Amino acid sequence: MGRHLLMMLVILLFITSVAAADTNIYKKTNPAPPVLTGLEDVPDNIPVVFPPYDPMEIDGVDILGDTVTVGNTWYEYQHNGQIGRQVVKDEYGYIHIVWTKGEDEQSNSRHVYYNFIDPSGVQGWPGQGYPVESAYKGGFTSLAVGWEGRAFPAFHQVISYGENAHSAVAVDFFPHTGAFLTYEIPWYLGIDWEYIWPRIAMKQDGEMLVTSVGNSDPTGAVGQTWSMGTYDPAGFSISFTDQILTDPIANISNEASASKVSNRVGSAYCATLPAGGGWDVHAMVDDDGLNLNFDNWWNVTNFLPPDSTFLPDTLMADADTLRAYTDCCLFFDMYDYCHIAFTTIAYFSLEGGLTYWNASMVWHWSEQFPEEYQIIANAFEPENIIDVGGWDFRAQRPSLGEDPETGYLYCMYQEYDVDSSALSAAGWPSGEIKISVSTDRGENWSEGTNITNTVTPVNAQPGECLSEAWPSMAELVDGFCHIVYVLDYDAGANLQNCGSITLNPIIYHKVPVDLIPTTPLVPQDVPFHVEHVPPPPSVRPGGEVQPTTFALEQNVPNPFNPLTHITFSLAAMQDIDLSVYNAKGQMIATLAKGPYSPGTHTVLFDGSNLASGVYLYRLEAGGRCLQKKMLLVK
């Protein structure tokens, strides 16, 4: 008992010394900022500034690409954390866009809106958009497109005043008509809890995955649920499976995605780290999309909690001082690898969950390189004490995409301009949109290119700011990055007591990838984990431990004709499946299946009966999956 008392005294003394020496560079992560549903009444005390506005002159500003206004909103707040996909480019060349719109200055009338841009550049409802639902209130939307180009917005809604909100999906009766039919997802366990903030992804077979997160206040709902939706083109209707709870510690940062070359589908989200506080990134992926099983989620980040045995050395005892924060974008590339981009902040557990005012980093992880973490954006300057507002840090909101012509990966993200000479009259910084590119499947990333470059003048009044916020990018990069965001005329999220209410345009921004330099590269010089504490294994629900060594090697030789060797490694006895697939995602051979002992194994693949081309081989074991490509040349 004396030892524990001594430890507590050491911690308290350290916190006191931190507060005395460097009070200004820290802030607390608890209590968290207000969690918004988009359904609350807007407080009467927030100033309202009506148009016309006089934003800074942007003629001559080096905005990369072309921008166009597709709508507007008095309600600027689109999401609390991860934005999700609010823009999709479909196979027919149409751009589809959704957003939450406040129709009056108090947003008493608040709905989900939709617009599209046809291949010739003509909007469906120029500069306005069209309402999706007719509920009492609706909002916080994401988007999928399928079934001959129909838009499928997901959102939550309150049907009548005083009721709880629930997740729903709408479908356009015919493509590009705006005649939406809305279908609510069955309540979790049939109970009127609020499972809301939905994300949607459309599989290759037309089924849709919808994930929702429980609103613990006021209904007590917790964690993330998933449901599968099936569209009936004959009846123009959607039917859903019951919601299933996947992870009771997930928070409002969920993102859903589906493969473009197979029926793989999954979700990523931030989840509370039980020991030590803060948040990890969790992910769940189903590989065949047929008999869905999301029980085997895994911990992507595995942040190390404090270890009191290192006290009184608090620097050592804190262990990992990075934590995920409200952002994680899941994406499947054209080789069917899963990628996740996420934001981290500093987190000092033993000091009561202190962090820095705006310092953050954006990271990348992939199935192809599962033991590695790459930096996309490094905005980690603890000495900068500019407050960027509730739920916000300096670099955040990553959105991944890929150009199938080049195989390059792109990450769009928001970064606040924290120069003290570029703050609004109320003292808030403006957002900019940046894009980083990777030419080597995510191993390295270019320094972010600022595509907006709209610097807010010092002491800008409401209506004079140009702050790009709540951005989202389409997964498909086709020589252009397709981005949508709110152009906030007064910097700061007014519902987090930052800034005034203004009528803000919804901007579609089309950026040629030729304008995004591939160099210089971001230095990969920040360790993801501390080295003095061994990383824990990833534990599945039910106690199953993930192998700490799980590897699939590149086939040798490659290219090959017709024989090649494939080597894989296991750290524990496991049932495995090693199969080969063609470019369409069709399985053509199973090379190994069943229980395999720990160690390294090599199998022979014979492509004598196959045509020349690219083939994929995939190793599945213990709920994890690795995949590589090989080239048969005859």
Mean pLDDT of 329-333: 96
Q: What is the pLDDT of residue 535?
A: 61
Please say whether the structural domain 66-450+462-515 has been given the CATH code 2.160.10.10.
Answer: no
Using omega within 30 degrees of 0 as the cis cutoff, is the peptide bond preceding 559 cis? Answer: yes
CB 506 within 8 A of CB 69: yes
SS (H, E, C) 588-603: EEEEEEEEECCEEEEE
Q: How many Å is the Cα radius of gyration of the chain?
A: 24
Helical H segments across 284-325, by residue range: 314-317
Distance CA 388, CA 426 (A): 12
Q: What is the pLDDT of residue 2?
A: 37
Q: Is 62 exposed, middle or buried (0-12, 13-18, 19+ CB in 10 A)?
A: exposed
The torsion defined by the Cα of 160, 165, 169 and 171, in degrees rounded to 10, comes to 20
Pick from 225, 317, 220, 304: which is nearest to 267 by CA? 225
CB atoms within 10 A of CB 431: 31
Q: In what order do the strands lie in the sheet with 110-117?
A: 87-89, 95-102, 110-117, 130-131
Whether the pLDDT of residue 586 is over 60: the answer is yes
Pick from 619, 612, 602: which is nearest to 564 by CA? 602
Q: Is 425 exposed, middle or buried (0-12, 13-18, 19+ CB in 10 A)?
A: middle
Listed range (16-30, 186-200, 272-286, 319-333) with the worst mean pLDDT: 16-30
Distance CA 64, CA 453 (A): 8
Distant-in-sequence, close-in-space partners of 269: CB < 8 Å, separation ≥ 6: 211, 213, 224, 247, 250, 251, 253, 254, 255, 281, 282, 283, 328
Distance CA 594, CA 575 (A): 5
Whether the pLDDT of residue 622 is over 80: the answer is no
Pick from 514, 512, 522, 378: which is nearest to 443 by CA? 522
pTM given for the model: 0.83
Q: In what order do the strands lie in the sheet with 599-606?
A: 551-552, 563-570, 599-606
Q: What is the pLDDT of residue 61?
A: 66
Residue 121 gets the label, from left (phi > 0), alpha (psi -120 to 50) or beta, of left
* Buried-state track 588-598, b at ≥16 Cβ within 10 A, e below 16: ebebeeeebee
Q: What is the pLDDT of residue 6?
A: 34
Distant-in-sequence, close-in-space partners of 2: CB < 8 Å, separation ≥ 6: none
Residue type, 217: D
* Terminal-to-terminal C-alpha distance of the chain: 73
Using omega within 30 degrees of 0 as the cis cutoff, is the peptide bond preceding 562 cis? Answer: yes
**Could you report the per-residue pLDDT of 333-383, keeping only the tens digit for each?**
999 999 999 999 999 999 888 999 999 999 999 988 888 999 999 999 999
Helical H segments across 214-339, by residue range: 216-219, 314-317
Question: 622 or 121: which carries more pLDDT confidence?
Answer: 121
Query: What is the pLDDT confidence band of residue 123, given thresholds at 50, 70 and 90?
Result: very high
Mapping DSSP to helix (H, G, I), strand (E, B) and coil, where does residue 622 land?
A: coil
User: What single string gives the DSSP state of each residue in 418-452?
Assistant: --GGGBBTTS-BPEEEEEEEESSTTSS-BPPEES-
- The residues facing 244 across adjacent strands are 226
Listed range (6-15, 124-133, 326-335, 415-424) with the worst mean pLDDT: 6-15
Domains of the chain, by residue range, sit at: 66-450+462-515, 551-632
Q: What is the pLDDT of residue 469?
A: 97
Question: 159 or 30: which carries more pLDDT confidence?
Answer: 159
Please say whether the structural domain 551-632 has been given the CATH code 2.60.40.1930.
Answer: yes
Query: What is the pLDDT confidence band of residue 450, given thresholds at 50, 70 and 90?
Result: very high
* Buried-state track 166-185, b at ≥16 Cβ within 10 A, e below 16: bbbbbbbeebbebebebeeb
Whether the pLDDT of residue 542 is over 70: the answer is no
Mean pLDDT, rounded, of the chain: 89
**Could you report the per-residue pLDDT of 178-210, keeping only the tens digit for each?**
999 999 999 999 999 999 999 999 999 999 999
Q: What is the pLDDT of residue 55?
A: 73
